[in-house]
Amino acid sequence: MTRKIIIDTDPGQDDALAILLALGAPELDILGITCVAGNVPLALTTINARKICELAGRPDIKVFAGCDRPLERTLVTAEHVHGKTGLDGVDLPEPMMPLQPEDAVSFIIDSLRAASDRSITLVPIGPLTNIATALQRAPDIAPKIAEIVLMGGAYFEVGNITPTAEFNIYVDPEAAQIVFGAGIPLTVMPLDVTHKAVTYPEWVEGFRAQGTELGLAVAGWTGFFERFDKEKYGSQGAPLHDPCTIAYLIAPDLFSGRHINVEIEVSSPLTLGMTVADWWGVTDRAANATFMKDIDANGFFALLTERISALPGR
């Protein structure tokens, strides 16, 4: 039985690998890809999402434009990590496939309203603005959502955009507070686990050696994207944050974590966007998220190689 999903994304090189992995997963039925402002502005994330689909030979995928700014705050982008286009590292042709006419939030709402209870999984891998807006506009959709599997947050790893906050949460903390407080089954891939999913030279060279447009794109993207983490953390490669969500949907046993309470800081200027994870159970706040901490990295990279290498390409 395939699992119906909607990927909400701000491509970004790691978003690209997550989308490619999902396109290589017969276990998943991608109802649509909804774009949000994040790594780069919305105008670019909608172009990038379509470039990725066409690169994979899937111009049939429905791509939607969503929110172009956070609920309340000014947009913060991450060109310093992802480059000016958001997909630096490879030059791909401008997309030919159209954007869908419906806006992303309406698509999310309409898809869920037409679905049976607990039948669609949302996979946000950028700021949570689209998801929060849909929940605010149509609270009745909550019971239709099987699970939200998101990339965001950090506890042991602390922040990557501020000393305490991870980027996706930091960009729209009010949206994150709505999502984490919605009472919907929530699985979180924070930096604690994604910083253990770091590319290594042999893996990247394996894709480059394929010599295909797709293989060269994976090598080019990770080769560009790794600069930031190599410089900041001394990492050996690029942390594949967003693909952790899709890998979890395909092979959940690759991951382990705890079902705990996680709250979002929305007021302190010092710790804005922090995911306050009660990992040690020191409060009586109710558990609301499965917060992942460990990964079988060998299994993860083997899965990515197997699935992405099998894509037909353009």
Residues in touch with Ca ion (CB under 5 A):
10, 12, 15, 125-126, 242
292 CA to centre of own chain: 14
166 binds, options ligand RIB, Ca ion, none, Cβ within 5 to 8 A by partner type: ligand RIB
167 binds, options ligand RIB, Ca ion, none, Cβ within 5 to 8 A by partner type: ligand RIB
Burial of 257 (0-12, 13-18, 19+ CB in 10 A): buried
Nearer to ligand RIB, 32 or 86 (CB): 86
For residues 16 and 39, give the distance between their C-alpha atoms in angstroms, rounded to a whole number: 12
Give me the least distance between CB of 150 and Ca ion, in Å please.
10
Nearer to Ca ion, 35 or 145 (CB): 35
160 binds, options ligand RIB, Ca ion, none, Cβ within 5 to 8 A by partner type: ligand RIB
Residue keyed to tokens 């992802």? 82
How many of the other CB atoms lie within 10 Å of CB of 10?
A: 32
Nearer to ligand RIB, 39 or 85 (CB): 39
229 binds, options ligand RIB, Ca ion, none, Cβ within 5 to 8 A by partner type: none
Residues 6+ apart with CB under 8 A from 205: 219
Nearer to Ca ion, 212 or 235 (CB): 235
For residues 277 and 264, give the distance between their C-alpha atoms in angstroms, rounded to a whole number: 9
Give me the least distance between CB of 307 and ligand RIB, in Å please.
19
Nearer to Ca ion, 77 or 261 (CB): 77
Q: Return the H-helix or E-strand segment holding 120.
A: strand 120-124
Q: State the catalytic residue, choosing from 80, 82, 195, 241.
A: 241
Catalytic site includes residue 241: yes
SS (H, E, C) 241-301: CCHHHHHHHHCHHHEEEEEECEEECCCCCCCCCCEEECCCCCCCCCCCEEEEEEECHHHHH
* Helix pair 173-180, 129-137: axis angle to 10 deg: 60
Give me the least distance between CB of 33 and Ca ion, in Å please.
12
Contact 195, 157 (CB under 8 A): yes
Give me the least distance between CB of 55 and ligand RIB, in Å please.
17
290 binds, options Ca ion, ligand RIB, none, Cβ within 5 to 8 A by partner type: none
Nearer to ligand RIB, 38 or 223 (CB): 38
Give me the least distance between CB of 81 and ligand RIB, in Å please.
7
Chain residues in the site for ligand RIB (CB under 6 A): 10, 12, 14-15, 38-39, 125-126, 151, 160, 166-168, 241-242
For residues 31 and 120, give the distance between their C-alpha atoms in angstroms, rounded to a whole number: 9
Taking alpha carbons only, the member of 146, 229, 238 closest to residue 197 is 238
- Three-state DSSP state, 123: strand
62 binds, options Ca ion, ligand RIB, none, Cβ within 5 to 8 A by partner type: none
For residues 51 and 57, give the distance between their C-alpha atoms in angstroms, rounded to a whole number: 10
The residues carrying an active-site annotation are: 241
